Amino acid sequence: MAQLLAVVGGADLSTHAVLAVEALRKAARRRDQPIALELRGPGTSGNPLPESAIRDAEAVLLVGSGDLGEGRFGALRRAKVAIEDVLTDVNAVIDRALGGAAPIQDPAAAAGVTGATRAIRIVAITSCPTGIAHTFMAAEGIQGAAKALGHAVRVETQGSVGARDALTQAEIAEADLVLIAADTGVDRRRFAGKRVYAATTKAAIRDGRGLIATALLEASLQAAAEAEPRASGPTRPAAERKAGAYKHLMTGVSFMLPFVVAGGLLIALAFAFGGIDAMAPGHAGTLGYALGEIGAKGAFALIVPALAGYIAYSIADRPGIAPGMIGGMLAANLQAGFLGGIAAGFIAGYTVAFLNRHIRLHKNLEGLKPVLILPLLATLVTGLLMVYVVGVPVAAILAALTGWLKGMQGASALVLGLVLGGMMAVDMGGPINKAAYASAAALIASGVTAPMAAVMIGGMTPPLGLALATRLFANRFTEAEREAGGAAAVLGAAFITEGAIPFAAADPLRVIPSLVAGSAIAGAIALSLGVELKVPHGGLFVLPIPNAVTNVTGALIALVAGTVVTALLVGLLKKRAA
């Protein structure tokens, strides 16, 4: 078989060039086609084609832009294509290079479409635990990339408040590719029979074009809607499998948050209307008592079951919900709290997944598995483990943790505030930020509300500090960054830490340490002054709510101090803008 040469030039699209090289390598291997590949950067060649390969070749494929070294190839037959052509239909590109096909007319073939034009139809879902910043930043990343590549796209955003711009069945039916960019579990049953690719929100925010290109190459067919739960299905993309325990935990947290918010605010309103003893039995029948009952015995009672149920759902789909929620209710009854709920969720989810893989029934009975057999057996296993093995020791651990946190004073409060506040600014919405946030939000259910104050104030400080820096040290920022300072201030006031990301991305070595320092100081001051916060979101907008914040003055002092420290450090470390 004739030897094929391929030279890929990335120029300013280095990520796409690497993807194109890998796509050519894999496609050639599948076809048993000998191929020699060279990846070239701006003016350099890291893996030049050997002279022997050039001598034995019959054709050369020139991909991308820049200096591809065409002078080496003499009279060899040549085909020139764009990187996007390789990423959308690599087989057609190879056929063209070998002279076995007409010019590329079906670049959508990689999406499972035949007879299509270059533009394909994409439907996408984005989701993060809180459904605020990363959800919409990922949506914008996908929309911008699809528009630049000439594809049609519709994006549904999902968060703790539900779905916005929901995809219709007609749009899904017409789509060539389903793209999921989520840090939480997403129900994929409605995409049965479609090519689906799943990744994280970070992938869509950082490189939307690369994500779409990878999805076109690696998307797999979604099983039919009546198929077994996804926990055992072979069609889960590698990107989704790699998410692991973190994604499952964040799914549980995202479903838990509305219960925490509603319950916390209702309890605060109960105190506002009925005084500090509004929930005492003697006040039964009053408005304050009713609000307290709804918040404490309604919303708060469901926090741990919701957390456990949706961790299990993320692992094993719908059959995991019942065992997970029942395990979570047992955890709450055993005083094991959110730690027990997390344990119950993972036990239930992985038990369902294990049983689903190993129980095989006649096809006429297969429908009983998700509604009867799996929930029953998994609930039995989870319940017995919670009662006899997990519940008591976890309850003891939680009681010790709760006692320590409630008794924090002086140095211990300062250190915890430093750590939690600093964690909020390290990656501004990434895993470290979310770990601190999820822990503090879960502790609210156990009556520990001080860590949430350090987390929220520490999370508000980065964008507020940068907004202040753009005013105090305008010469350190470009005109576009100065204009973005106003938006960062609004985002910071609403506790959307991601408003600092554009500034950090432009100068990470100077900006991120400044953000971490300011947030750590804000968190330390908040806990040292005894600030407590009963709701897990809202930023400055929760301060006027009676009793939602303990020591409002201390909270404002901490926020102002952290903001000023961040702004001064940014101004000191950043260089003048060109």
Give per-residue burial for 318-350: e unless 16+ CB within 10 Å, then b.
bbbbbbbbbbbbbbbebbbbbbbbbbbbbbbbb
Amino acid at 485: G
Cα–chain center distance at 446: 26
3-state secondary structure 40-104: EECCEECCCCCHHHHHHEEEEEEEECCCCCHHHHCCCEEEEECHHHHHHCHHHHHHHHCCCCCCC
Annotation says 128 is catalytic: yes
Burial of 66 (0-12, 13-18, 19+ CB in 10 A): middle
Tens digit of each residue's pLDDT (9 = 90 or more) over 310-366: 999 989 888 999 999 999 999 999 988 888 999 999 999 999 999 998 888 877 777
pLDDT, position 342: 92
Longest dimension (CA), the chain: 97
Q: Phi and psi for 226 in degrees, rounded to 5? A: -90, 5
Residue 112: pLDDT band by 50, 70, 90 thresholds?
Answer: very low
Q: Provide the sign of the torsion angle of the four alpha carbons 564, 565, 570, 573, taken in this order.
A: positive
Specify the CATH superfamily of domain 3-99.
Response regulator (3.40.50.2300)
Q: What is the DSSP letter of 220?
A: E
Among 17, 90, 128, 525, the one annotated catalytic: 128
Instruction: Read off the pLDDT of each residue in 224-230 and give the average, rounded to a whole number.
Output: 46
Q: How confident is the model at residue 553 (pLDDT cuts 50, 70, 90)?
A: very high
The Cα 304–Cα 312 span in angstroms is 12
Pair of tokens at residue 497: 């830490």
pLDDT per residue as tens digits for the range 59-101: 888 888 777 777 777 777 888 888 877 877 788 888 878 774 3
Give 450-494 pLDDT, tens digit per residue: 899 999 999 999 999 999 999 999 888 888 788 888 888 988 898
Same fold, 3-99 and 121-218: yes
Given this model, what pLDDT does residue 132 score? 62
Which CATH number among 3.40.50.2300, 3.40.50.11710, 3.30.750.24, 3.10.20.30 corresponds to the domain 121-218?
3.40.50.2300
Would you list the domain boundaries of the chain?
3-99, 121-218, 243-399, 409-573
Full DSSP string of 134-176: HHHHHHHHHHHHHHHHT-EEEEEEEETTEEESPPPHHHHHH-S
| pLDDT value, residue 114 | 40
